[in-house]
């Protein structure tokens, strides 16, 4: 029996060795660049070291761990288009973290360049939770490597992509955390580096794990449409092919389907169904032209297509004349195809297509003959470095600023002299002012947009010409912050306000001590602490600031001193009364643990919790817990509007949660009804809810006009199953076209 076991194990080891060897050979074949003998030797040495470092280690799926770095290296080579150095670094990216090999060992064997990349890829010890997801501090460290080598970020994206492809063996709540983080940080980062395919796959995989039912539904509907869609696109493109061939152009045509994530996004943003998304598919025409004539050839293709099919002028996107900051270049037009279907057509050259697929890695290939894209990359990296150098009160604030300023869409605005400035969409005049220079921002008095005076809360649009009016007497104000979105503007204002506050605190401290000294009272630490409590403040700095501002004057100080003279018991009594009013803390009845419905963690523990008001979860909803600084747990729905940010930015505070299903309670839920207005509609609805289903209606408001109606009804149900029954019955009412549960905002 022992011999059979050994033989079986040996056979299994042999099979695994074959798989590993085959994937290694696939890696060597995957590279788009010719490998010399020295290149192959470098990659082989990196592979051998990784094999030794990860021997006997397995992933959660049970497969040998070495397959992970090999697959990451294949993505780096094939899908991003990087060379030997990046491939070797990808093979060894987990070696320093997971084995006894040190960074010094790597540097000695492979040189300083590869060692520097691997150092950037090595996670922060003690902050990274390899079983769940990274924290904001680790993301910050990864971004700091931008100033050293962009390849660190590109390899990290490849690492994340392979992890997302292989998450099936993980528990559901861990899948959701990693997917949320991917959607929040990594997909936008891939977009920013021009890696369209990787960005799209990361988004789709994230949706697969955060909203599996919705993902599966859209995926199945796309499969059902595939045959008809393929036939339609061939008919649509045949006329275009004929005309392009007659013009003597060398080209290829690719058919593409809108990603599942982007379809879902459009359904939500426009409030439409899957069938109402009319641009689910598109074609891409790639012209094989030299750099010198590629723009002219693209516009030539545009004129040919619009001569055949009627274009929608509102849907023209010209990223050839003004490329996106991630280097993306393409012409997008939407035309009316046969049978009244809108079809998006993308027109680009072979070079543009390669850059769109492989991002900045492809830019380097064209650097000598076409340096514009490298300039865009440098501009982006310069802005990134500026953000990284700015002080943030927390890692979370840093990530928010970075995401807002470098992952958002852009607008192009001009100075009075015609200089072009790139700003995030939604920017204000103050953002523009600080983008020019911090001193101009600090002295901003007002702004003119296109020659007209505008308020500081005026949002800028692409093409605006902006003039900033300044005054030496002006200084930053706290009320400016809501009218800024760029990190540079917000950080500059906060730093200025911080300086102003410190000055007020120092002045207030001097002023208070002088007043106490005047009445012969020594400002001891104990006395100052008593004053802080008396005025309901958080710390002594707030006390000094209020004195400096004049919000605490002589009469207030006199009242405090009189109270001190009432004796110790009087002081305690007044302090007790104040603390109740001041803190506003809840008593036990305000929390939901007296009526236990939720259990937490893998051991199903009882903990003090509240049901989050932002999403109003009810029994049966898929939920998770978020631990507040007070120790109380907020229970959120997994599809809560805030779930993505919470799970990605505060993964260490997320806790598994489940309903104690046998405990039924009353839950108030808001339903939104829409449909065609008919006689007696309100009576029918209330009849079904109150009489047929015996559900209590807390409020009802139905309004109509032009033959349609919208109603908002608050009902009290026991759990999700009960709610689904109510929704199903209401959908049967004649004239009702949709019934949806509304999340409280």
What are 627's strand-pairing partners? 633
The verdict on whether 478 is a catalytic residue reads no
Contact 297, 269 (CB under 8 A): no
Contact 688, 733 (CB under 8 A): yes
Task: Report the alpha-carbon distance of residue 523 to residue 503 in Å, rounded.
Answer: 20
Q: How many CA atoms lie within 13 A of 596 on its CB side?
A: 9
Task: Report the alpha-carbon distance of residue 589 to residue 610 in Å, rounded.
Answer: 11
DSSP state string for 474-493: ----GGGGGG--SHHHHHHH
The verdict on whether 98 is a catalytic residue reads yes
Contact 308, 243 (CB under 8 A): yes
Task: Report the alpha-carbon distance of residue 5 to residue 10 in Å, rounded.
Answer: 9
What are 671's strand-pairing partners? 713, 741
Task: Report the alpha-carbon distance of residue 312 to residue 161 in Å, rounded.
Answer: 36
From 63, 98, 105, 374, the catalytic residue: 98
DSSP state string for 532-569: HHHTT-SSHHHHHHHHHHTSS-HHHHHHHHHHHTT-HH
Inter-CA distances, 255 with 241, 332, 510, Å: 13, 14, 73
Q: Is the dihedral of CA 556, 561, 566, 567 positive or negative?
A: positive
N-to-C CA span, the chain: 65
Dihedral through CA 262, CA 267, CA 269, CA 272, nearest 10?
150
Residues 6+ positions from 175 with CB-CB distance below 8 Å: 167, 209
From 16, 63, 97, 507, the catalytic residue: 97
Using CB atoms within 10 Å of the CB of residue 666, give its burial: 0 to 12 exposed, 13 to 18 middle, 19+ buried: exposed
Residue with tokens 């605490």: 552
Helix (H, G, I), strand (E, B) or coil at 399: helix
DSSP 443: T
Helix (DSSP H) and strand (DSSP E) numbers for the chain: 29, 20
Task: Report the alpha-carbon distance of residue 736 to residue 672 in Å, rounded.
Answer: 11
Strands of the 466-470 sheet, one edge to the other = 452-454, 444-449, 466-470
Taking each helix axis from N to C end, the angle separating 67-74 and 84-91, rounded to the nearest 10 degrees, works out to 160
Length of the chain measured in residues = 745
Q: How far is CA 289 from its chain centroid?
A: 37
Taking each helix axis from N to C end, the angle separating 487-518 and 554-564, rounded to the nearest 10 degrees, works out to 60
Task: Report the alpha-carbon distance of residue 135 to residue 648 in Å, rounded.
Answer: 8
Residue with tokens 């209401």: 730
Known catalytic residues? Answer: 97-98
């Amino acid at each position: 029996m022992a011999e059979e076991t050994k033989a079986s194990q040996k056979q299994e080891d042999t099979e695994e060795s074959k798989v590993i060897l085959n994937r290694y050979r696939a890696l060597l074949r995957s590279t788009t660049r010719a490998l010399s003998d020295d290149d192959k030797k470098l990659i082989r040495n990196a592979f051998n070291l990784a094999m030794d470092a990860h021997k006997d280690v397995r992933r959660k799926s049970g497969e040998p761990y070495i397959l992970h770095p090999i697959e990451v290296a294949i993505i780096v080579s094939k899908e991003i288009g990087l060379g030997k150095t990046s491939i070797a670094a990808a093979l060894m990216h987990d070696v320093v973290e997971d084995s006894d090999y040190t960074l010094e060992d790597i540097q000695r064997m492979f040189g300083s360049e590869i060692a520097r990349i691997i150092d950037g890829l090595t996670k922060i010890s003690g902050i990274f939770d390899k079983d769940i997801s990274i924290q904001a501090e680790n993301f910050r460290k990864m971004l700091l490597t931008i100033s050293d080598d962009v390849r660190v970020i590109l390899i990290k994206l490849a690492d994340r992509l392979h992890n997302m492809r292989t998450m099936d063996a993980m528990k559901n709540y861990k899948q959701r955390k990693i997917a949320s983080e991917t959607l929040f940080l990594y997909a936008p980062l891939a977009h920013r580096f021009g890696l369209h395919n990787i960005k799209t796959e990361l988004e789709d995989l994230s949706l697969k794990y955060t909203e599996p039912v919705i993902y599966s539904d859209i995926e199945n509907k796309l499969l059902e449409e595939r045959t008809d869609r393929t036939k339609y696109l061939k008919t649509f493109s045949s006329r275009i092919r004929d005309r392009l061939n007659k013009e003597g152009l060398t080209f290829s045509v690719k058919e593409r389907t809108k990603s599942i994530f982007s379809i879902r996004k459009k359904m939500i943003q426009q409030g439409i169904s899957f069938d109402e998304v009319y641009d689910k598919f598109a074609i891409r025409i790639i012209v094989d032209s030299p750099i010198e004539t590629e723009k002219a050839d693209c516009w030539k293709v545009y004129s040919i297509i619009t001569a055949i099919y009627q274009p929608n002028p509102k849907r023209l996107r010209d990223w050839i004349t003004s490329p996106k900051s991630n280097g993306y270049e393409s012409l997008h037009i939407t035309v009316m195809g046969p049978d009244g279907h809108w079809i998006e057509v993308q027109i680009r050259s072979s070079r543009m297509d390669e850059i769109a697929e492989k991002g900045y890695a492809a830019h380097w290939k064209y650097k000598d003959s076409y340096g514009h894209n490298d300039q865009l990359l440098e501009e982006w990296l310069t802005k990134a470095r500026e953000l990284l150098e700015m002080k943030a009160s927390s890692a979370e604030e840093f990530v928010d600023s970075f995401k807002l300023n470098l992952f958002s869409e852009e607008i192009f605005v001009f100075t009075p002299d015609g200089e072009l400035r790139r700003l995030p969409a939604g920017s204000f005049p103050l953002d523009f002012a600080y983008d020019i220079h911090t001193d101009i921002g600090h002295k901003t008095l007002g702004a003119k947009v296109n020659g007209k005076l505008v308020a500081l809360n005026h949002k800028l649009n692409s093409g605006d010409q902006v003039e900033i009016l300044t005054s030496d007497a002006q200084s930053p104000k706290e009320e400016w912050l809501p009218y800024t979105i760029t990190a540079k503007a917000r950080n500059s204002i906060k730093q200025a306000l911080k300086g102003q506050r410190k000055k007020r605190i120092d002045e207030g401290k001097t002023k208070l001590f002088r007043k106490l000294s005047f009445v012969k009272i020594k400002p001891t630490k104990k006395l100052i602490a008593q004053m802080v409590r008396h005025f309901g403040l958080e710390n002594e700095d707030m006390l000094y600031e209020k004195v400096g501002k004049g919000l605490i004057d002589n009469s207030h100080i006199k009242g405090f001193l009189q109270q001190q003279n009432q004796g110790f018991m009087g002081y305690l009594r007044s302090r007790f009364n104040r603390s109740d009013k001041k803190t506003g803390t809840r008593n036990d009845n305000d929390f939901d643990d007296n009526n236990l419905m939720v259990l937490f963690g893998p051991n199903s523990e009882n903990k003090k919790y509240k049901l989050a008001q932002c999403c109003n979860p009810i029994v049966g909803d898929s939920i998770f817990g978020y631990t507040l600084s007070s120790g109380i747990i907020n229970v959120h729905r997994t599809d809560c509007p805030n779930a993505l940010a919470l799970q990605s930015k505060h993964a260490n505070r997320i806790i598994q949660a489940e309903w104690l299903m046998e405990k039924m309670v009353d839950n108030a839920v808001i339903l939104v009804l829409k449909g065609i207005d008919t006689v007696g509609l309100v009576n029918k609805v209330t009849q079904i809810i109150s009489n047929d289903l015996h559900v209590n209606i807390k409020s009802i408001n139905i309004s109509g006009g032009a033959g349609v109606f919208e109603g908002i009804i608050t009902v009290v149900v026991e759990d999700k199953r009960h709610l689904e029954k109510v929704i199903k019955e209401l959908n049967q009412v004649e004239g009702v076209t949709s019934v949806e549960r509304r999340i409280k905002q």
